[in-house]
Amino acid sequence: MNDGVVNDPNIVIDARGVTRRFGDLVAVDAVNLTVRRAQVYGFLGPNGSGKSTMIRMLCGLLLPSAGSIQVLGLHIPAQADALRLRVGYMTQKFSLFEDLGVRENLEFLAAVQGLSRREAARRVEELLIEYDFADRQKQLAGTLSGGQKQRLALAGAVIHRPELLFLDEPTSAVDPESRRDFWDKLFDLADEGKTLLVSTHYMEEAERCHRLAILDHGRLVGDGTPAELIAKLDGRTLRVQAADLRRAREALSAAPEVAGVAQIGTALRVLTHTQASPQRLQTSLHDAGISADVQTTTPNLEDVFVAATGRSRRAGEMSP
């Protein structure tokens, strides 16, 4: 492990060369990561990309196989016990006691975090109001809706006023409206100076983050603000309209310059590896007997994700 100390108080997480192996499987592969204070920092990646493994190492719940980690100025995992008093952790499974009421859940979590009886009572009252549970204090957690369980789990995660909050795909089991409300709460916490690291596979959530890391097969394949990542996109995004979208999609998917094709409504969205011209693809389709109109369109974060993870897969296929 590197014993270097990060002295910048605005850097909350500093990870260098972090790797985790499970036998022959490399779940996280030499990841470097810097998260600054009061950021909503997103982890974007498909299932199995290493997001949860990385979060568990940053929390001190899992030992890295190699690399160094500092969180809130503490060396992890050596000082993980001290870190647990300063962070909150929330997963998609909502760690609630379903046979306890809303207030009882919060009171129990306050006791676990070591709050005094007076501070616990004050904090529980605050959270019941802030998270809209004043009229549901006695309702069993197991009878709450998905969105209500999500809110209660977040209230429990912040009951001890953590400086840093880890959220591992916390919105995967709730409806879109609950996701929007939840993200409003996250930005409220960031405005209070809290730092949040959120893993997600929802593109619309990733676009809301201050900064974003894209993971694929354990590798960091993108890091920056959403706008920076879009601006650095190497390829070109095209919109294709054709009478026979299925044939057009098959033909474009086989083209060497095409990184990805997706049908969006009555058109195809095409991402190329290079700055391929619309005329070139239109000619290729015409030569295949497909009449089509091909125009450039504005790239988005999904295009960045397709390009980044596609590069990762191609690099893996070429590795010995």
Is the pLDDT score of 305 beyond 70?
yes
H-helix or E-strand spanning residue 269: strand 267-272
Q: pLDDT per residue over 192-239, tens digit each?
A: 999 999 998 888 899 999 999 999 999 999 999 999 999 998 889 999
pLDDT of residue 222: 93
Is the pLDDT score of 111 beyond 90?
yes
Q: pLDDT per residue over 150-199, tens digit each?
A: 999 999 999 999 999 999 888 877 788 888 899 999 999 999 999 999 99
pTM: 0.86
Q: What are phi and psi of 67, to 5 degrees?
A: 100, 180
Q: pLDDT per residue over 19-55, tens digit each?
A: 999 999 999 999 999 999 999 999 998 888 999 999 9
Task: Summarize the confidence of residues 262-274 as an average pLDDT.
Answer: 91
Would you place residue 319 in the very low, low, confident or very high pLDDT band (cuts 50, 70, 90)? very low
Listing DSSP states for 167-218 in one string gives EESTTTTS-HHHHHHHHHHHHHHHHTT-EEEEEE--HHHHTTSSEEEEEETT
Residue 66 three-state SS = strand
Determine contact, residues 19/86, Cβ cutoff 8 Å: no
What is the DSSP-derived secondary structure letter of residue 115?
-
Give the burial class of 239: count Cβ atoms within 10 A of its Cβ; 0-12 exposed, 13-18 middle, 19 or more buried.
Answer: middle
pLDDT of residue 234: 83
Sort strands 258-264 and 267-272 into parallel, antiparallel or unpaired.
antiparallel
pLDDT of residue 9: 84
Q: Where are the domains of the chain?
A: 234-298
Closest CA to 34 of 165, 212, 261: 212
CATH architecture of 234-298: 2-Layer Sandwich (3.30)
What is the chain's mean pLDDT, rounded? Answer: 90
Is the pLDDT score of 109 beyond 60?
yes
Residue with tokens 């022959």: 24
Would you place residue 4 in the very low, low, confident or very high pLDDT band (cuts 50, 70, 90)? low
Would you place residue 5 in the very low, low, confident or very high pLDDT band (cuts 50, 70, 90)? low
